[in-house]
């Protein structure tokens, strides 16, 4: 997908100015609340009208102020998934799913109900009314409804924000699965760095109505880690564990990680905050932290008031953060070897 | 105290006028409410005032204005006359009077329901490929169903009670345009008609209470849902 | 006590005690069609009797009678027909002995100026005729009597537009909604350009159109009410009624 935007829109005291050309199948739009993310989504979908500029999606002009082109939303084929599912309360799940499908021109219709219902686990729910569904089920129906419209672009506007942590991580695989399986490019809107990294390959950063940067989600997470309460979240792929002395030992990077809070004794992804990693210049003789990993410093980077340290841990990457003074004192420079100490309780299952 | 055949006709006529007026008013009322809620145009406030005018004008004034409009010499009356249609002093005039006087109630009720629809549902509908008319029929209409039902029952009840405008444009011709309230007025203004007047009042009360009960039921169910 | 205060107090006392002795209020309940003439008559009487003031209540005769029955203040009742006067006398709310005729009127057919109506049968040439609802409007009742007596009541039945009162009949005739209307002569005299009197219905065809009046039980006890009813048969009162198109004998 290739998206070319040149937009200006004033709404009272707020003004939105975006000049952006991006391509990719999994795009992100990141920014704090009030930065204009949802307004931009509305402009893209044709729900509101820019004051000036143009929108071109895959070579097709959706809006052009000069040429007086303004396709109505129903002809843009951009489907939306909202934070609040927005399911039609008077229709059952099947009718909701088919709402966009029926309205999609036959020539462009390439996704069928059975397949989507199957992928999203909605088959047993087809006859239900939306009011009877749980939050996660509703969001899956909303996603399925959007996908079934065979859109040229799927906009997901904070689709996970209304869900609790647990549910959120269970929905994310569905979101990724659906876009890959049905090859629908999407624009994922969120204020969560972690969601951006899990969902997107390219992120546009919006602040106070202005486009700040277009970066990879990884870069963005590193730049912002100093401002995030949770720091940078390392995502570690671990193998199936074995039991040892009341802890679980997960294979990782040629060695093992000892985790205490492992509710799921199986392979998968675990989270580790950059704040939970303690760096030691020499091997500490006595320490309560269960994991002590020898690493090589790849490089240092500036992250606001903190300094980020990218470590090579037997080929795998770990990001730790320290205050600039500590970097100086410990003489941490690229190439130096160092010990990373991590408590067994610092990990979280994703 | 006797019940004349014309009194039975008055009851039937009241129900007929109410039913026809309600059916005729529904599409108009829906469209008017739609314009007020979703329309974007200049002079919306003016239109809103116009729709609400019959609510505050004395019905007699509405009747008089209708007489000027659809009377033989009136601008609309002349047009209709050319098409061979005469409204004045027929049951159609009673329908028209009911329609105009009850219209604000209907519009108000439908409008409230429409305003209660989550705008995101409409945005979702548009982005899923529904044009404005499609969206109106498949989302707005079903979601304002309760308002339409409540408004219709209120409108019908108002129509059963319509007197002031009707008696001017329709006259009070027994068996032709004399609805229940008109018959009651006729009897109540004659020295020996008191008994019949009271009996017809009772019929009127029973009819209106039944309709209002329906109205309340619709509203209660709306709250429960 | 200071003189000015004393003067004010004395004046107040005088006013308080003096007022009732020279001011009486008379309540009249009068058929709506007599509004203009009644107002003129009471104004004249008031000039001659400065102590009397009037509260005039105009409306449909039936409504007025029912109000009096319900206890509304009324000293004199002037009705558009006999029945409502008898109704009050029957309920012992009016003084039968005071009952007399206020004035007489004529039933006429008014309509489009070009029409020629020489007899009541000529009404059969017309498409629509307005008439007060015979059940509740006296003028309609008189008109119905005339139609029955001529034997054309069935033939014209479907052409009749029944109106709620004489004023509505006038409105329809004036606006051309009907070809003609049965109204009183006094009402027809107030018509504008659009309609005029086409035909005077002969007296023999219906009861004479009369406005009977009666003092209520309360009114019969008031000397001023007695004086007013006497005034109504004085030559100056009769002159006023005559000028407005009423008949007196």
CATH number for the domain that contains residue B80: 1.10.3720.10
Q: Are C78 and C98 in contact (CB under 8 A)?
A: no
User: Average pLDDT in the A46-72 region?
Assistant: 94
> How close does chain B come to A208, measured CA to CA in Å?
23
Does one domain contain both A136 and A200?
yes
- The radius of gyration of chain C's CA atoms, rounded to the nearest angstrom, is 22
Q: Is B175 on the interface with C (CB under 8 A)?
A: no
Size of interface A-B (CB pairs under 8 A): 64
Around Cβ A72, how many Cβ atoms within 10 Å? 12
- pLDDT at position C61 is 87
- Work out the mean pLDDT of chain C and round it to a whole number: 88
Query: Torsions phi, psi of A28, nearest 5?
Result: -120, 150
Chain B residues whose CB is inside 8 A of the C137 CB are 189
- pLDDT-derived band of residue C7, with 50, 70 and 90 as boundaries? low
| Nearest C-alpha in B relative to C84 | B191
Q: Which of A224, A250, A280 is the endpoint of a domain? A: A224
Please judge whether B143 and A90 are an interchain contact, meaning their C-beta atoms are less than 8 angstroms apart: yes
Q: Which of B71, B89, B190 comes nearest C135 by C-beta?
A: B190
How many whole angstroms separate alpha carbon A313 and alpha carbon C249?
A: 128
Does one domain contain both A111 and A56?
yes
| Burial track C114-143 (b if 16+ CB lie within 10 A, e otherwise) | ebebeebeebeebebbbbbbbbbbbbbbbb
Q: Are A223 and A306 in contact (CB under 8 A)?
A: no
Q: Is C213 on the interface with B (CB under 8 A)?
A: no
Could you report the per-residue pLDDT of B173-222, keeping only the tens digit for each?
888 899 999 999 988 888 788 889 999 999 999 999 999 898 888 888 77
Around Cβ B222, how many Cβ atoms within 10 Å? 15
Q: Which of A42, A89, A100 comes nearest B129 by C-beta?
A: A100
Report the range of poorest mean pLDDT among A149-153, B167-171, B189-193, C230-234: B189-193
Exposed, middle or buried by CB within 10 Å (0-12, 13-18, 19+), for C149?
A: middle
- Work out the mean pLDDT of chain A and round it to a whole number: 90
Chain C residues whose CB is inside 8 A of the B191 CB are 62, 65, 83-84, 86-87
* Domains located in chain C, CATH noted: 23-104+210-243 (3.40.190.10), 107-200 (3.40.190.10)
Does one domain contain both A171 and A73?
yes
- pLDDT at position C136 is 85
Q: Which residue has the tokens 């409204």?
A: B87
Residue (of C196, C206, C144) closest to C174 by Cα position: C196
Q: Are A81 and A156 in contact (CB under 8 A)?
A: yes
Query: Domain range holding A80?
Result: 2-224
Can you point out the beta strands (E) in A181-244? Answer: 186-190, 202-207, 210-215, 233-238, 242-244
- pLDDT at position C192 is 65
Exposed, middle or buried by CB within 10 Å (0-12, 13-18, 19+), for A329?
A: exposed
How many whole angstroms separate alpha carbon A168 and alpha carbon C198?
A: 90
Could you report the per-residue pLDDT of B57-110, keeping only the tens digit for each?
999 999 999 999 998 888 999 999 899 898 999 999 999 999 999 999 999 999
Q: Which of A224, A241, A274 is the endpoint of a domain? A: A224
Could you report the per-residue pLDDT of A116-147, keeping only the tens digit for each?
999 899 999 999 999 999 988 999 999 999 99
Residue (of A14, A76, A40, A64) closest to A188 by Cα position: A40
Give CA C157 to chain center in angstroms. Answer: 27
Residue of B123, B127, B130 to mutate, interface with A, max A Cβ within 10 Å: B127
Please judge whether B191 and C62 are an interchain contact, meaning their C-beta atoms are less than 8 angstroms apart: yes
User: Average pLDDT in the C21-40 region?
Assistant: 86
Residue C16 has pLDDT above 60, yes or no: no
How many whole angstroms separate alpha carbon B200 and alpha carbon A228?
A: 77
- The radius of gyration of chain B's CA atoms, rounded to the nearest angstrom, is 20
Residue C120 has pLDDT above 80, yes or no: yes
- pLDDT at position B142 is 96
| Residues in CB range of A191: below 8 A, 6 or more apart | A30, A31, A32, A33, A37, A158, A161
- pLDDT > 90: percent of chain A: 61
Residue (of A74, A39, A155) closest to B125 by Cα position: A74
Could you report the per-residue pLDDT of A7-18, keeping only the tens digit for each?
999 988 899 999
Does one domain contain both A244 and A207?
no
- pLDDT at position C18 is 47
Can you point out the beta strands (E) in A31-74? Answer: 52-57, 60-64, 69-70
Does one domain contain both A188 and A285?
no
> How close does chain A come to B128, measured CA to CA in Å?
4
User: Average pLDDT in the C134-148 region?
Assistant: 92
Q: Which residue has the tokens 């009341």?
A: A246
Q: Residue A279 gets which letter from DSSP?
A: E
How many whole angstroms separate alpha carbon A168 and alpha carbon C96?
A: 94
- pLDDT at position B191 is 78
Q: Which of B167, B173, B191 comes nearest C83 by C-beta?
A: B191
- pLDDT at position C22 is 56
| Residues in CB range of B81: below 8 A, 6 or more apart | B72
Report the range of poorest mean pLDDT among A268-277, B167-176, C52-61, C185-194: C185-194
Does one domain contain both A164 and A34?
yes
Whether pTM exceeds 0.90: no
| Residues in CB range of B112: below 8 A, 6 or more apart | B147
Does one domain contain both A151 and A264?
no
Could you report the per-residue pLDDT of C71-107, keeping only the tens digit for each?
899 999 999 888 899 999 999 999 999 999 999 999 9
How many whole angstroms separate alpha carbon C123 and alpha carbon B195?
A: 35
- Do C and A make contact via 3 or more CB pairs under 8 A? The reply is no
Q: Are A321 and A275 in contact (CB under 8 A)?
A: yes
Angle (CA) B207-B208-B209 rounded to 5° is: 95
Does one domain contain both A193 and A283?
no
How many whole angstroms separate alpha carbon B94 and alpha carbon B90?
A: 7
Chain A residues whose CB is inside 8 A of the B143 CB are 89-90
Q: Which of A224, A249, A267 is the endpoint of a domain? A: A224
Please judge whether A78 and B128 are an interchain contact, meaning their C-beta atoms are less than 8 angstroms apart: no
Does one domain contain both A21 and A120?
yes
Instruction: State the angle between helix axes of B180-188 and B145-161 in degrees (0 to 180), rounded to the nearest 10.
Output: 30
Angle (CA) C20-C22-C24 rounded to 5° is: 70
Could you report the per-residue pLDDT of A139-189, keeping only the tens digit for each?
999 999 999 999 999 999 999 888 887 788 888 888 888 888 888 999 999
How many whole angstroms separate alpha carbon B82 and alpha carbon B60?
A: 27
Q: Which of C63, C136, C161 comes nearest B171 by C-beta?
A: C161
Pairing of strands C209-215, C100-105: antiparallel
Q: Is A103 on the interface with B (CB under 8 A)?
A: yes
How many whole angstroms separate alpha carbon B21 and alpha carbon B17?
A: 6
Q: Are C111 and C195 in contact (CB under 8 A)?
A: yes
- pLDDT-derived band of residue C20, with 50, 70 and 90 as boundaries? very low
Does one domain contain both A288 and A217?
no
Angle (CA) B82-B83-B85 rounded to 5° is: 100
Chain C residues whose CB is inside 8 A of the B190 CB are 62, 135-136
Q: Are B70 and B152 in contact (CB under 8 A)?
A: no
Structure tokens at A324: 């600039």
Residue (of B182, B179, B193) closest to B10 by Cα position: B179
- pLDDT-derived band of residue A262, with 50, 70 and 90 as boundaries? low
How many whole angstroms separate alpha carbon A143 and alpha carbon A136?
A: 11
Please judge whether C135 and B68 are an interchain contact, meaning their C-beta atoms are less than 8 angstroms apart: no
List B140's β-bridge partners, or say none. Answer: none
Structure tokens at B210: 């039944």
Based on the structure, what is the number of domains in chain B? 1
Q: Is A186 on the interface with B (CB under 8 A)?
A: no
Residue A23 has pLDDT above 70, yes or no: yes
- pLDDT-derived band of residue C162, with 50, 70 and 90 as boundaries? very high
- pLDDT at position B147 is 94
Does one domain contain both A167 and A290?
no
CATH of the domain at A278: 2.40.50.100
- pLDDT at position B188 is 85
Instruction: Supply the ipTM of this predicted assembly.
Output: 0.85
Query: Domain range holding B85?
Result: 5-224
Neighbors of chain C by Cβ distance (3+ pairs < 8 Å): B
3-class DSSP state for residue A269?
strand
Residue (of A196, A275, A272, A192) closest to A231 by Cα position: A275
Based on the structure, what is the number of domains in chain A? 2
- pLDDT at position A225 is 87
How many whole angstroms separate alpha carbon A143 and alpha carbon A188?
A: 12
Could you report the per-residue pLDDT of A228-239, keeping only the tens digit for each?
888 899 999 998
Residue C19 has pLDDT above 50, yes or no: no
The residue ranking higher by pLDDT, A92 or C192, is: A92
In residues, how long is chain C? 249
Chain A residues whose CB is inside 8 A of the B125 CB are 88, 99
Query: Torsions phi, psi of A316, nearest 5?
Result: -90, 160
Q: Which of B88, B186, B190 comes nearest C177 by C-beta?
A: B88
Query: Torsions phi, psi of C221, nearest 5?
Result: -85, -10
Residue (of C191, C189, C244, C221) closest to C38 by Cα position: C244
Residue C193 has pLDDT above 90, yes or no: no
């Amino acid at each position: 997908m290739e998206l070319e935007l040149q937009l200006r829109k004033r709404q009272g005291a707020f003004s939105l100015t975006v000049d952006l050309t991006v391509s990719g199948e999994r795009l992100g739009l990141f920014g704090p609340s009030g930065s204009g993310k949802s307004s931009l989504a509305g402009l893209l979908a044709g729900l509101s009208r820019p004051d000036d500029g143009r929108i071109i999606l895959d070579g097709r002009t959706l809006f052009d102020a000069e040429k007086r082109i303004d396709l109505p939303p129903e002809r843009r084929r951009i489907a939306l998934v909202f934070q609040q599912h927005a399911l039609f309360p008077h229709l059952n799940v099947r009718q909701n799913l088919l709402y966009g499908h029926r309205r999609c021109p036959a020539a462009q219709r390439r996704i069928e109900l059975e397949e989507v219902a199957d992928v999203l686990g909605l088959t047993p729910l087809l006859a239900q009314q939306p009011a009877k569904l749980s939050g996660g089920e509703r969001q899956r129906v909303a996603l399925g409804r959007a996908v079934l419209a065979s859109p040229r672009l799927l906009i997901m506007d904070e689709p996970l924000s209304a869900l609790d942590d647990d549910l959120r991580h269970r929905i994310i695989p569905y979101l990724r699965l659906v876009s890959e399986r049905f090859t629908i490019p999407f624009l994922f809107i969120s204020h969560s760095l972690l969601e951006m990294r899990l969902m997107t390959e390219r992120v546009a950063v919006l602040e106070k109505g202005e486009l700040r940067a277009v970066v990879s989600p990884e870069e963005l997470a590193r730049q912002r880690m100093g401002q995030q309460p949770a720091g940078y979240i390392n995502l570690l792929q671990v193998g199936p564990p074995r039991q040892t002395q009341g802890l679980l030992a997960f294979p990782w990077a040629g060695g093992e990680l000892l985790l205490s809070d492992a509710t799921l004794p199986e392979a998968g992804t675990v989270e580790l905050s950059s704040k939970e990693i303690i760096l030691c210049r020499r091997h500490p003789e006595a320490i309560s932290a269960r994991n002590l990993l020898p690493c090589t410093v790849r490089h240092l980077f500036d992250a606001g008031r903190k300094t980020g340290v990218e470590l090579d841990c037997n080929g795998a990457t770990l990001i730790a953060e320290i205050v600039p003074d500590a970097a100086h004192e410990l003489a941490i420079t690229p190439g130096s070897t160092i010990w990373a100490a991590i408590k067994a309780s610092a990990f979280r299952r994703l | 105290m006797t019940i004349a055949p014309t009194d039975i006709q008055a009851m039937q006529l009241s129900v007929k006028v109410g039913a026809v007026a309600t059916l005729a008013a529904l599409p108009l009322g829906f469209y008017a409410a739609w314009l007020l809620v979703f329309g974007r145009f200049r002079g919306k406030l003016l239109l809103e005032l116009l729709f609400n005018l019959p609510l505050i004008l004395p019905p007699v004034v509405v009747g008089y204005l209708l007489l000027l409009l659809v009377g033989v010499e009136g601008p609309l009356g002349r047009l209709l006359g050319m098409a061979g249609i005469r409204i004045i002093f027929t049951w159609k005039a009673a329908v028209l009077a009911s329609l105009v006087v009850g219209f604000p109630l209907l519009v108000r009720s439908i409008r409230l329901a429409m305003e209660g629809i989550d705008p995101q549902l409409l945005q979702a509908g548009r982005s899923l490929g529904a044009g404005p008319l499609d969206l109106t029929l498949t989302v707005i209409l079903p979601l304002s169903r309760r308002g339409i039902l409540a408004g219709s029952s209120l409108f019908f009840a108002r129509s059963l009670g319509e007197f002031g405008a009707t008696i001017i444009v329709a006259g009070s011709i027994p068996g032709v345009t004399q609805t229940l309230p008109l018959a009651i007025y006729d009897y109540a203004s004659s020295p020996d008609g008191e008994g019949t007047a009271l009996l017809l009042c009772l019929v009127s009360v029973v009819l209106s209470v039944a309709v209002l009960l329906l109205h309340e039921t619709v509203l209660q169910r709306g709250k429960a849902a | 006590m200071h003189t000015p205060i004393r003067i004010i107090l004395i004046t107040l006392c005088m006013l308080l005690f003096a007022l009732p002795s020279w001011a009486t209020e008379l309540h009249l309940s009068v058929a709506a069609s007599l509004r203009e003439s009644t107002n003129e008559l009471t104004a004249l009487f008031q000039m001659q009797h400065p102590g009397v003031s009037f509260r005039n209540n105009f409306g449909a005769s039936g409504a007025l009678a029912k109000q009096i029955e319900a206890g509304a203040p009324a000293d004199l009742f002037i009705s558009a027909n006999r029945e409502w006067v008898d109704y009050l006398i029957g309920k012992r709310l009016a003084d039968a002995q005071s009952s007399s005729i206020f004035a007489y009127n004529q039933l006429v057919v008014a309509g489009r100026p070009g029409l020629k109506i020489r007899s009541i049968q000529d009404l059969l040439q017309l498409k629509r005729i307005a008439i007060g609802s015979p059940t509740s409007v006296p003028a309609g009742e008189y008109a119905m009597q005339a139609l029955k007596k001529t034997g054309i009541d069935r033939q014209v039945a479907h052409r009749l537009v029944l109106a709620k009162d004489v004023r509505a009949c006038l409105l329809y005739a004036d606006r051309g909604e009907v070809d003609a209307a049965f109204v009183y002569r006094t009402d027809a005299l107030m018509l504008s350009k659009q309609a005029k009197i086409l035909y005077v219905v002969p007296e023999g065809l219906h009861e004479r159109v009369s406005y009977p009046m009666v003092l209520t039980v309360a009114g019969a006890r008031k000397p001023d009410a007695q004086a007013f009813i006497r005034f109504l048969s004085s030559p100056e009162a009769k002159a006023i009624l005559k000028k407005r198109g009423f008949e007196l004998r």
